[in-house]
């Protein structure tokens, strides 16, 4: 999906929510649209925009680890390391069995972050 399509979908979900603020599916789809838009922006090197999208996703799904991991990845690419670590640690508290945020956070502590991001982004 292209950026314009994500934005169009988000507008439609916002309209549905403005009509019925308890419309759970519209909230869910809006959160998913922001997450997918953020991943798309991240893949295209638009890290600031990706972070904003992940923040929107987090505001809708505050207890899900994955947007925190992606947000940490975007901060890593921007070389804002303290925020990246904070995001990974937040993801760990939400999903302690998920190895991904542990690996990414620990890469900072053992100095292997460059290798981690060469093989996966």
Q: Is the pLDDT of residue 1 over 70?
A: no
One domain for residues 80 and 121: yes
* Number of neighbouring beta carbons within 10 Å of residue 50: 25
User: Per-residue pLDDT averaged across 11-24, rounded?
Assistant: 92
| Amino acid 97: pLDDT | 86
Give the burial class of 37: count Cβ atoms within 10 A of its Cβ; 0-12 exposed, 13-18 middle, 19 or more buried: buried
The whole-angstrom separation of Cα 65 and Cα 17 is 24
The whole-angstrom separation of Cα 12 and Cα 70 is 25
What digits encode the pLDDT tens for the residues 63-77? Answer: 999 999 999 999 999
Task: Tell me what the pLDDT averaged over the chain comes to.
Answer: 87
The number of distinct structural domains making up the chain is 2
One domain for residues 10 and 20: yes
One domain for residues 100 and 76: yes
Cβ contact 85:73 at 8 Å: no
Q: Is the pLDDT of residue 119 over 60?
A: no
| Amino acid 74: pLDDT | 97
Cβ contact 50:41 at 8 Å: yes
Whole domain around residue 31: which residue ranges?
A: 1-62
Q: Is the pLDDT of residue 54 over 80?
A: yes
């Amino acid at each position: 999906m292209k950026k314009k399509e994500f934005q169009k979908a988000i507008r439609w979900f916002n309209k549905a929510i403005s009509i019925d603020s308890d419309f759970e599916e519209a909230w869910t789809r809006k959160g998913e649209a922001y997450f997918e838009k953020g991943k798309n922006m991240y893949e295209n090197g638009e890290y600031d925009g990706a972070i904003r999208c992940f923040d929107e996703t987090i505001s809708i799904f505050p207890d899900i680890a994955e947007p925190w991991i992606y947000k940490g990845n975007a901060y890593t690419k921007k070389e804002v390391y303290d925020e990246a670590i904070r995001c990974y640690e937040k993801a760990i508290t939400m999903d302690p069995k998920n190895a991904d945020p542990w690996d990414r956070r620990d890469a900072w502590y053992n100095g292997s972050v460059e290798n981690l991001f060469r093989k996966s982004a």
